[in-house]
Every structure is written in structure tokens, then in C-alpha cells.
């Protein structure tokens, strides 16, 4: 099977500190891939490299249909079909929920196209569909900044979905959510995976256990191992990285 996304030997050098020391990663079609690892393992940096926020010092990112993307501008990477949800909810607070989604809809993104864009029934239907999926039908005309934290997270996920991406990057999607919200988000992520590949960075082990199929463990800027959660938990290195440290602290 051909991967959607291939990262080859990605290195990131922050003034002598290597945040990533040669990461190789494949993400396949309709896959939900969880990236886990202790703080400072380079998970978020890897997402930053994929979406163009941080430039890799070495290595290649190859995206199906677009070829090598690590030299492309951020907005071109996004147009190529990679959507990114940031850790802190990053939405447009003064625009309404509806407007947030309206701007995110997959469309021509030039100045002229937006000047002449019309809110036709097709766009409306798309927005309604997403609003239902993220459970914000009743908040559509509220300013996004007024939403509860969890709802903002959902809105941002919705803004990524409505772009109809091929690959969705989620950075700690359940941070700050309540138990019920977490579960809903977990099901939402699986729902999404029917239409695109998802790469999730997550800290919460219970959540990973419940909702992951494939897990990649990172440690100090490198991939430690890959496999199902059960396999990964058996891995001695992983146990050492997680528990070994834990013991010392205790």
C-alpha cells in the first residue's frame, strides 16, 4: 500500500539543539495514527514540519499527489490537502461560528474569488453538515470567541474537516475537555478517518488506548517504535522511557 504521507530522515536544528534527529514516518489511507511520547519528544515539531510552520534542516516530506512539500509555502501545503489543528484553539474569535466555517470551506482562495464568492445552497449544506457533526448547530450565529473551550476545539476540528483534506493533523485535540467531550471527540476522529487520514498527537494514555489502532512512539527527537497500543506497551524501551522516568521521579 502506498502511504499518503512519507517523512524521510527529518531533522530539525534549533540553533544546535536537534528537536528531531532523523524521523521516518509513513501515514496510510484512512488511518488514524497516534503519535505519543514524553514531553520534548518532538511530536508537535514533527507536525509543524509537515504543515510548513517549521522548516526541516534535513530530510524530505512527501505527500501523495503533490510530491515533495517541505519547501512549499504554508498556504500551498494547506491547499494541497493537509489541514492542521493547533494545540491551543486557533479560531477567529470575532467572527461567528458560521463565518469561521464559511472561510474554511474548500474553495478557490484568491482575492478575486473571495470578492465574488456567493453563499450558495451547496456551501450552506456543507456548513450545516459540519455543524451537525461537531454539535454546534445551535451556536452558528454566536461569536466563536464566546464558545466554551471544548466547543472551540470542535469548531477548529470542523474548520479542518470542511476543507476536505487528505490528511488531518490534530495536536492534542482533547486538551481541556471534559470526560463526555473526550469520548465524543474520539468517535468524531474515527468518523473523520473514513474520509481522510488522521495523525494525532496526544498525551492522554486512556484516550490513546481507547481510540488508537496504530501508535508511533517518539522519544528525544526520534521514533522509538511503532505498532498497536498493546504491542507498544510490551516494548521494553517504551516502558523504560515512560516508567523508568516515572520511577526516578517517584
> Per rule CB under 8 A, is residue 103 in the interface with other proteins?
yes
Binding segment toward other proteins, per CB under 8 A, in 20-28, 63-71, 114-122, 225-233: 114-122
Q: In whole angstroms, what is the distance from residue 193 CA to residue 31 CA? A: 6
Q: In whole angstroms, what is the distance from residue 100 CA to residue 119 CA? A: 13
Find the binder of other proteins among 9, 68, 71, 93 (CB under 8 A).
93
> Per rule CB under 8 A, is residue 242 in the interface with other proteins?
no
Q: In whole angstroms, what is the distance from residue 78 CA to residue 97 CA? A: 21
| Closest of 149, 212, 146 to residue 176, by C-alpha | 149
Binding segment toward other proteins, per CB under 8 A, in 61-69, 109-117, 201-209, 225-233: 109-117
> Per rule CB under 8 A, is residue 54 in the interface with other proteins?
no
Find the binder of other proteins among 55, 71, 109, 124 (CB under 8 A).
109
Find the binder of other proteins among 62, 95, 175, 225 (CB under 8 A).
95
| Closest of 18, 88, 21, 80 to residue 50, by C-alpha | 80
DSSP-assigned beta bridge partners for residue 170? 85, 200
**By the 8 A CB rule, do 170 and 89 touch?**
no
| Closest of 22, 31, 25, 35 to residue 5, by C-alpha | 25
Find the binder of other proteins among 9, 67, 68, 75 (CB under 8 A).
75
- Closest approach of other proteins to the CB of residue 220, in Å: 27
> Per rule CB under 8 A, is residue 210 in the interface with other proteins?
no
> Per rule CB under 8 A, is residue 51 in the interface with other proteins?
yes
Amino acid at each position: 500500500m502506498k502511504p499518503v504521507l512519507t517523512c524521510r530522515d527529518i531533522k530539525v536544528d534549533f540553533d544546535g539543539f536537534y528537536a528531531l534527529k532523523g524521523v521516518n514516518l509513513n501515514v496510510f489511507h484512512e488511518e488514524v495514527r497516534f503519535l505519543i511520547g514524553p514531553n520534548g519528544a518532538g511530536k508537535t515539531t514533527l507536525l509543524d514540519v509537515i504543515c510548513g510552520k517549521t522548516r526541516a534542516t534535513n530530510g524530505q516530506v512527501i505527500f501523495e499527489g503533490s510530491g515533495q512539500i517541505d519547501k512549499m509555502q504554508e498556504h500551498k501545503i494547506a491547499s494541497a490537502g493537509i489541514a492542521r489543528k493547533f494545540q491551543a484553539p486557533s479560531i477567529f474569535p470575532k467572527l461567528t461560528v458560521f463565518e469561521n466555517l464559511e472561510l474554511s470551506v474548500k474553495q478557490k482562495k484568491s482575492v478575486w474569488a473571495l470578492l465574488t464568492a456567493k453563499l450558495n445552497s451547496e456551501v450552506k449544506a456543507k456548513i450545516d453538515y459540519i455543524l451537525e457533526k461537531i454539535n454546534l448547530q445551535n451556536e452558528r450565529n454566536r461569536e466563536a470567541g464566546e464558545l466554551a473551550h471544548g466547543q472551540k476545539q470542535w469548531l477548529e476540528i470542523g474548520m479542518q474537516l470542511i476543507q476536505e483534506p487528505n490528511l488531518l493533523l490534530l495536536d492534542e485535540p482533547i486538551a481541556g475537555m471534559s470526560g463526555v467531550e473526550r469520548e465524543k471527540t474520539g468517535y468524531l476522529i474515527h468518523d473523520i478517518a473514513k474520509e481522510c487520514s488522521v495523525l494525532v498527537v496526544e498525551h492522554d494514555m486512556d484516550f490513546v488506548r481507547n481510540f488508537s489502532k496504530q501508535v508511533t512512539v517518539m522519544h528525544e527527537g526520534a521514533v522509538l517504535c511503532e505498532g498497536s497500543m498493546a504491542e507498544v506497551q510490551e516494548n521494553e524501551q517504551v516502558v523504560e522511557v515512560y516508567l523508568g522516568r516515572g520511577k526516578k521521579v517517584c
